[in-house]
């Protein structure tokens, strides 16, 4: 049985929670979660990789078991979350690593790559968008409306994303057999999002998501210049980030491995046994653990 450690670190005055497993001297793989979850989404993936890799899965500030200062105490932006992630990795002595990005983890991972391209050994994206083609308008229209103008009407509409029903929708939509997804997932996420003051944290990040698409041209240039090994393992039933977003990676990384799998936004919840071999084959070819 693989030992998974559940740890905290003080980073720039903030207490960040992270899961860690595997040999400290093995190649590092950093798992970056999305909204509205935490490193809890990687509870099955961490031990599945840790025999050959040093796996680190942090909770972003405001999520999971990390500190969640109020929106008055901390300016929640994707730049700020990226800076904290980079500082955590520096604290842990991790300078070269592969990233697994999903949803909000993607803009954090993209910033890490743009800020220090040589640090990234490989990219795994699971419904982590990097192209305009990936956005499903029916979902994102409410977000774009709120970004353009914060009114009682646009705020009320975006607050629906914080409800239990909306979070459950994210987990079950596109999953061929919804009984494979544990109800604990959406109840766990909803409980943490519902902590006093966390609504304003999430609203701040909904607004700041507007800063992410403008980064895409730079990101595409980085991909063309550095050609990072890239695996897109995508839930093709996702109604937030469409399969077109997965296919688009091959435009800039021609040898990208793109797999569209039966599943939704949180693919690991229903298709972990399909995703793990894809990741292990990909990492074995591109980030081999020569010491094992």
Catalytic residues: 265
Measured distance CA(261)–CA(243) in Å, rounded: 10
Helix axes 137-148, 152-159, angle to 10 degrees: 140
Query: Is the distance from CB of 193 to CB of 159 less than 8 angstroms?
Result: no
Q: Which of 159, 137, 135, 136 is nearest to 146 (CA)?
A: 159
Q: For the chain, what is the radius of gyration of the CA atoms?
A: 18
Q: Which of 94, 32, 23 is nearest to 57 (CA)?
A: 32
Measured distance CA(175)–CA(185) in Å, rounded: 14
């Amino acid at each position: 049985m693989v030992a998974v450690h559940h740890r905290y670190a003080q980073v720039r005055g903030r207490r960040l929670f992270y899961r860690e497993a595997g040999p400290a001297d093995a190649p590092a793989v950093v798992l970056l979660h999305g909204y509205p979850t935490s490193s809890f989404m990687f509870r099955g993936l961490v031990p599945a990789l840790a025999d050959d890799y040093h796996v680190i899965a942090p909770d972003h500030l405001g999520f999971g078991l990390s500190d969640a200062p109020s929106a008055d105490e901390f300016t929640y932006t994707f730049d700020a979350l990226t800076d904290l992630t980079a500082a955590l990795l520096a604290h842990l002595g991790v300078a070269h690593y592969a990233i697994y990005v999903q949803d909000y983890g993607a803009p954090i991972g993209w910033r890490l790559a743009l800020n220090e391209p040589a640090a990234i050994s490989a990219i795994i994206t699971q419904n982590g968008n990097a192209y305009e083609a990936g956005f499903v308008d029916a979902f994102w229209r409410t977000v774009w409306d709120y970004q353009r103008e914060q009114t009682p009407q646009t705020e009320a509409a975006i607050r629906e994303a914080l409800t239990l029903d909306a979070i459950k929708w994210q987990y079950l939509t596109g999953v061929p057999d919804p009984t494979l997804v544990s109800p604990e997932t959406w109840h766990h996420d909803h409980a943490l999002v519902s902590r006093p003051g966390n609504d304003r944290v999430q609203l701040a990040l909904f607004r700041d998501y507007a800063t992410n698409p403008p980064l895409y041209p730079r990101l595409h240039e980085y991909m063309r210049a550095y050609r990072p090994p890239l695996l897109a393992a995508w839930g093709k039933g996702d109604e937030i980030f469409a399969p077109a977003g997965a296919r688009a990676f091959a435009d800039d990384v021609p040898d990208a491995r793109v797999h569209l799998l039966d599943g939704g936004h949180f693919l690991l919840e229903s298709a972990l046994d399909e995703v793990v071999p894809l990741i292990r084959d990909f990492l074995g070819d591109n980030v081999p653990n020569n010491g094992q």
